[in-house]
Structure 1
Amino acid sequence: MEINNEEFEKTFDEAFEQKSEEINSQLNREVLIAMVGDVNCGKSSTINKLMKEDIASVGSKPGETVEIREIPYKDNIIFVDTPGLDDVVKVNSEITLGYYKNSDVILFFLNAAGTVLSENELKNLKDIEKVNRDIIIVLNKIDAADDIPELVKYIQDHTNFKYPVVPISSRTGENISMLQNKLLDILEKKSKDIMFAMNLKEKSTTANRWILAAGVSSATVGASPIPGSDFIPLTGIQVGLMLKLSTLYEKPISKENAKELLIVTVVGNVGKTIFRQIVKFVPGAGSIIGASVAGATTVALGYAIKYMHENNIDLQAAQLKSIYEMLLKKEKEKQEKYEGDDDEDITFVK
């Protein structure tokens, strides 16, 4: 069954305009991230590790005079360093509470090497959650403490499992990617994740996250790459993925290029013969979307575009077949090297 060209053109154009508008609106929005904790809990070193850039001064000493600090990053991201509601004079407490209320995410810092979740810290947390529940509890300095799982469980038990607890070391960088993912989880719900993600130095993890999420969404739609009742939402998912990846890597894609790529992968035959094999070697992809033609096509498209961006290859449809085949060969060689040669065919549930 062939796709009606007029229907495809209309569907694609509408999806491209809609997704472009959604992404552009994100890029004009501000992200406000408040950090609360004492002066020795590693807030500054954490955001330096998170953004992989020295954007905040470090080296505050215990007992040093505390104040509220705005730490801008690029044009639209602002970190706010706050000492906590009980550690400043009353007028500052009111200002601090205002920051918490307006923040997109609050990073509540605890010191794994100190008294974890003291009575005062728990009171602060309860006061903050009255105005904002988008909180991530950051258990820092795990490199200087023992029995971290027990500390995490203690925090969860005493906060009724309301918030994610992320154990990190701002000194070694351990689990910083976990913190990044938790931030993106919250920002995505507020349609602010794209702008934040494109300012991260390490983009591959975010790209993988988006590709697999698009694959799952496509699998949920349950469409084969043919016209029908599911063709419109599937086109929207794939167009959105192309635009998000191009924005992430700051390599804009034209409407004509995007249309050509989609025609080659979805309408044409370039990807159909090998995309099922590709997902066999993509960690997590096979188990999530391996049973879906639509999901597997989307994942293959996403990883090909990601590879082209990361290797400065122009996004041209003519390149896709060789990229697909190269990715398949590369991943198969890697699998054979570390896991042994396994030529078993994939079985797809229909």
Structure 2
Amino acid sequence: MNQEFENEKFDEWFEDAFYEKTDEINEQLSREILISMVGDVNSGKSSTINRLMDEDLASVGAQPGETVHIQKYVYKENIIFVDTPGLDDVVEENSEVTKKYYEQSDVVLFFLNAAGTVLSENELKNFKQIEKITKDIIIVLNKIDAADDIPNLVKYIQDHTNYGYPVVPISSRTGENISMLQAKLLDVLEKKSKDILMAQNFKDKSSVANKWILAAGASAAAVGASPIPGSDFIPLTSIQVGLMIKLSTLYDKPVSKENAKELLIATVVGNIGKTIFRQLVKIIPAAGSVVGASVAGATTIALGYAVKYMHENEIELKAEHLKTVYEMFLKKEKSNPSI
């Protein structure tokens, strides 16, 4: 460990950041997520949540709701999907119960069938009723594998919903664009500090990790500091420590305070060499455009991808493994998306 960092000030910075981020994430994991789904019976709601969670949840997790028209799917106690009939139910009591679910929901997934009549008059009426209750809506255009001219269908939906909501074209049958739906869900849940809980239970953790790493790199680059102690070092420490803990939570492999500190010091000191970080950014998709010439951004992204790689390959998070992992990255082809 570099002697330059053997001081009480650095220990204080690191300790504060580690416990602050750990507490934030633990608080997130204790919350409940409620996701309402609305759409025709053939719109693929059940198959979509099965794809998202990598489990046959819609077949085995159903629980009776308040009416025969509402079905609840409970995943690990605190993630609840509710299949609702919409607000145009002929039974007024059912519509009132459905309305309460929309009011309480973190996200409403509004399903449309790309192979059917997309956004029919009745669907549009129902949509406009729902958006009076909540703006946290994601429009899911499912079954794109059975339809043509998807870009025009997406534009048609956007035109008729005033471009106010994300439209995600997917195939729950083939899995196409499921990672895109994940990303949009996390964008909404992040505003409510519930994204980490959801991400931890997604099937595709790799794309989530990539999203977080690039976002942390951009934040570090915005700090504008080189990775050395100074006025900008405290926020940089917080960003990098937070990223390590988030990634470790995502893969359900907690990082110890001691190992996190070693990894941070090895990265900040740059004893592996600043050049290697700049080289790494060149081979990580989208990283260069995110961090530009920022050393802080580059080191943050390199650290993030190293932590991700170690988790995915059952390597203990220790500073002594960093150099080997970085050198392995540099041997990969520039176009290799698997980093």
TM-score range, shorter chain: over 0.9
Determine the structure 1 residue equivalent to 2:112.
Answer: 110
Q: How many residues align?
A: 329
Deviation of 1:129 after TM superposition, in Å, equals: 1.0
Aligned to 2:82: 80
- Given candidates 311, 314, 321, the residue that maps to 2:313 is 311
- Structure 1, residues 63-82: CA drift from partner, whole Å, max 9, x if none? xx961011011121100001
Alpha-carbon contact 1:271-1:321 (below 8 Å) kept: no
Letter in 1 for 2:144: I
Does 1:130 find its partner at 2:132?
A: yes
Cα shift at 1:308: 0.6
> What is the alpha-carbon root mean square deviation over aligned residues?
1.9
What amino acid maps onto 1:86 in structure 2? D
User: Matches of residues 1-350 of structure 1 in structure 2 within 5 Å?
Assistant: 2=4, 5-57=7-59, 67-331=69-333
* Pairwise CA distance, 1:215: 0.2
Amino acid of the structure 2 residue aligned with 1:157: D
| Paired residues of 1:68 and 1:82 also in contact (CA < 8 A) | yes
Unaligned runs of 5+ in 1: 59-64, 336-350
* Cα contact 2:179–2:204 (8 A) shared by 1: no
Q: Specify the SS of the correspondent of 1:80.
A: strand
* Unmatched tracts of structure 2, length 5 or more: 61-66
C-alpha distance in 1, partners of 2:119/2:328?
Answer: 51
Structure 1 residues 292 and 177, CA gap change in structure 2 (3 angstroms): same
- The Cα offsets for residues 272-305 of structure 1, whole Å up to 9 and x where unpaired, read as 2411111110000012113100000000101111
Q: Alpha-carbon deviation of 1:152?
A: 0.9
Tell me what 1:347 maps to: none
Deviations 1:218-251 (A, max 9, x none): 0000110111111110000000000001101111
How far residue 16 of structure 1 moved from its aligned partner, in angstroms, is 0.5
Q: Contact (CA 8 Å) 1:2, 1:226: kept in 2 or not?
A: no
TM-score (norm 2): 0.93
- The letter for the 2-side match of 1:320 is L
Contact 1:261 1:316 in 2 (8 A): yes
- The answer to whether the 8 A contact 2:71-2:82 is kept is yes
Displacement of 1:201 in angstroms is 2.1
The answer to whether the 8 Å contact 2:285/2:335 transfers is no
The aligned residue for residue 340 of structure 1 is none
Q: Residues 254 and 289 (structure 1 numbering): CA distance in 2 closer, same or farther, change over 3 Å?
A: same
Amino acid at match of 1:205: S
CA distance in 2, matches of 1:158, 1:173: 26
Percent identity over the alignment?
Answer: 75
| Structure 1 contact 3–226 (Cα < 8 Å) conserved | no
Q: Please tell me the residue identity of whatever aligns with 2:211.
A: R
- The whole-number CA distance in structure 1 between the counterparts of 2:284 and 2:313 is 18
Report the residue type matching 2:202 in the other structure.
Answer: L
